[in-house]
């Protein structure tokens, strides 16, 4: 993994703690707290849970696929170092076009799947679940510009022909 600046790490921890406290507060007392408050929401909650579950599984799949690209490069570089008899000083970063799953259509499938996951959570919590809505909107606001910048990087690194019709983060749209 690439090094991360301590300030970025600290801000990420603060964001996650704020999100956890907000969602916990919503579930513990600011959202619906009685049977009547949740009445008539069973099917909507089931739909939300299915969306959340599929988003979570797809997010795990796509994140793991990206990590496997790096793990495979690490294994290859270790093998080459052992065969040459030279000690390996560091791992050279390898950049490849991801090709499995939704990566056939978008370059940031793991972002898209995370958005789907949190949209499902928002549906479970209800349309008035401000913490889930805020988290989803904050994710989109921070990840979308990164995905668009990353799409331009892929075009520059691999060429427009290799990127093809892939979009940045939303299949067929953006």
State pLDDT tens for residues 89-99: 766 777 888 98
Segment 3-7 shows an average pLDDT of: 87
- Of residues 86 and 12, the one with the higher pLDDT is 12
Please tell me the distance from the alpha carbon of residue 61 to that of residue 25, in angstroms, as a whole number. Answer: 30
Q: What is the pTM of this model?
A: 0.85
Question: What per-residue confidence (pLDDT) applies to 104?
Answer: 94
Percent of the chain with pLDDT over 90: 57
For the stretch 63-96, what's the b/e string if a residue is b when 16 or more beta carbons lie within 10 angstroms of its beta carbon?
A: eebbeebeeebeeeeeeeeeeeeeeeeeeeeeee
Percent of the chain with pLDDT over 70: 96
In this predicted model, what pLDDT tens digit does every residue of 139-163 receive, in sequence order?
999 999 999 999 999 999 999 999 9
- List C-alpha distances in Å: 105 to 29, 73, 85: 41, 24, 41
Q: At residue 96, what are phi and psi to the nearest 5 degrees? A: -135, 160
In this predicted model, what pLDDT tens digit does every residue of 41-52 receive, in sequence order?
889 999 999 999
Tokens of 63: 């994140």
Spell out the SS3 assignment of 8-68.
Answer: HHHHHHHHHHHHHHHHHHHHHHHCCCCHHHHCCCHHHHHHHHHHHHHHHHHHHHHHHHHHH
């Amino acid at each position: 993994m690439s090094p991360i600046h301590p300030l970025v790490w600290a801000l990420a921890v603060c964001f996650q703690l704020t999100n956890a406290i907000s969602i916990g507060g919503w579930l513990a007392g600011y959202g619906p707290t009685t049977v009547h408050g949740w009445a008539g929401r069973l099917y909507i909650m089931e739909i939300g849970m299915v969306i959340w579950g599929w988003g979570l599984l797809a997010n795990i799949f796509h994140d793991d696929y990206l990590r496997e690209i790096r793990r495979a490069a690490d294994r290859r570089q270790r093998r080459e170092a052992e065969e040459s008899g030279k000690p390996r000083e560091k791992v050279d970063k390898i950049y490849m076009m991801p090709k499995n799953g939704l990566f056939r259509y978008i370059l940031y499938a793991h972002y898209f799947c995370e958005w789907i996951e949190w949209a499902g959570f928002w549906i479970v919590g209800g349309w008035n679940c401000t913490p889930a809505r805020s988290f989803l909107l904050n994710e989109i606001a921070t990840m979308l510009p990164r995905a668009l910048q990353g799409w331009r990087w892929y075009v520059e690194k691999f060429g427009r022909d290799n990127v093809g019709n892939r979009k940045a983060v939303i299949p067929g749209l953006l």
